[in-house]
Structure 1
Amino acid sequence: MKPFLRSTMKPLVIVPQKPDKADHEAILDALVRYNDATSGPSGYEDVAVLLRDPDSGETIGGLWGTLSYDWLFIALLFVPQQLRGQGLGTSLMREAEQIARQRNCAGIWLDTFGFQAPDFYRGLGYELFGELPDHPRGTNRFLLRKIIVPTTESAKPA
C-alpha cells in the first residue's frame, strides 16, 4: 500500500474552482483501498448499460452504477426526452437487475429527485427507504431499493 503522505508537513486544504477527474480517482482509489483493508474486498466495480445512436455509435443515454459490498448503486439513469415512453428506461433497469443477479448482489439502491422518476422506480418494485426533504428546495430527494432474488444459476454453489 503506498504511503498517504510523503512529507512530514501538514497537508494543504484547497478548494479547486474546477475539480479534476484525476483528483476524484485519487480519492476514490484511496477510499476503496482503505475499505478493502478494513472490511474485506468490496468488489468495487463500475457498471454501465448504454443507449447508443445506431448511426453514429455515440452514447446518448443509459445507466451508470457501481457494485460495492454486494449491492449495485445506480448513480445515473438517462433516456433522451424524445425516446421516453418506449420502455427504454425499463430495459436499462432490467439489464442492471440481471447484472446484480449474476454478481449475486443482495440488492440495488438509487436516489432520485421528486421531479425525476420516483414513481417509475416504484413501478419497477423499488421501495422507499429514505427521504431528504427540500432537496432541491421545493421538492424532495428519495432513496429507493430493491432486494434481488438470485436466479437459479447464480444461486448454485461454486
Structure 2
Amino acid sequence: MTVRAEDLTVTLTDAPAAADIAALHRGLETFNTRVSPPYDRRELCLFARRPDGTVAAGLTGWTQWSWLYVDYLWLDESLRGGGLGGDLLARAEAEAVARGCRWARLYTYDFQAPSFYERKGYSQWGVLEDFPPGHRQIWFRKDLVPTD
C-alpha cells in the first residue's frame, strides 16, 4: 500500500507509546538488515547486591555485531576505589568474548571516569564538547581480542 505524505498526521509527544517506538525500531531494523548482519543484540548485565538484595553496584550493556557496548557502570560511593568496578568490567568483557565479541565501546563524561577506562585499556576515539554544558562526553573503545 502506498502512503502519501500529505495523508499523514504528524504528532509531537514527550510520552510516546511503547508500540510506536517498537514500530520505528522494527522498520529501521528491517531496512538495515538488507545490508548489515542480522540484529543479534543480547543484553549483558551484572549486579552486585547487598545481603538485603538491594543493588550496590552494576553494569548494564549489550552485545551486538561482535561488539560489547557498556551502557552504565555504577558503584555506590562507598565501594569505589576497591577494585569492584574493574571486576565488573572484566566480567562483562569476558562474557562478551565468550559471545564472540572482538571489541568494546562506551562513553563517559569528563566528570565521571575517563582515567578509569584508560587504565583498563580503553582508547579515546571521540569527544562531544559541551555535553552537558561546560563538560565533555568522551567515547572509548577497546580491542577485546588481539588484532592480526
User: TM-score, length-normalised on structure 1?
Assistant: 0.78
Distance 1:84 1:21 in 2: 36
Contact kept in structure 2, 1:66 and 1:72, CA below 8 Å: yes
1:77 deviates by 1.1
Which residue of 1 is the match for residue 12 of structure 2?
15
1:37 deviates by 3.6
Which residue of 2 is the match for residue 99 of structure 1?
95
What's the % identity of the aligned pairs? Answer: 35
Q: Which runs of 5+ in 1 are unaligned?
A: 1-5, 151-158
Aligned counterpart for 1:118 among listed residues 111, 114, 117:
114
Distance 1:27 1:135 in 2: 26
Worse-superposed segment, 23-32 or 63-72: 23-32
Q: CA RMSD in A?
A: 2.2
Distance 2:27 2:33 in 1: 10
1:59 deviates by 3.1
Q: Aligned pair count? A: 144
Which amino acid is 1:44 matched to? R
Q: Which runs of 5+ in 2 are unaligned?
A: none
Which amino acid is 1:87 matched to? G
Which residue of 2 is the match for residue 40 of structure 1?
37
Which amino acid is 2:10 matched to? V
User: TM-score, length-normalised on structure 2?
Assistant: 0.83
Which residue of 2 is the match for residue 144 of structure 1?
140
Worse-superposed segment, 119-128 or 46-55: 46-55
Distance 1:66 1:83 in 2: 24
1:5-27 Cα offsets, whole Å, 9 max, x none, are x8846443323233455544443
Aligned counterpart for 1:49 among listed residues 37, 46, 50:
46
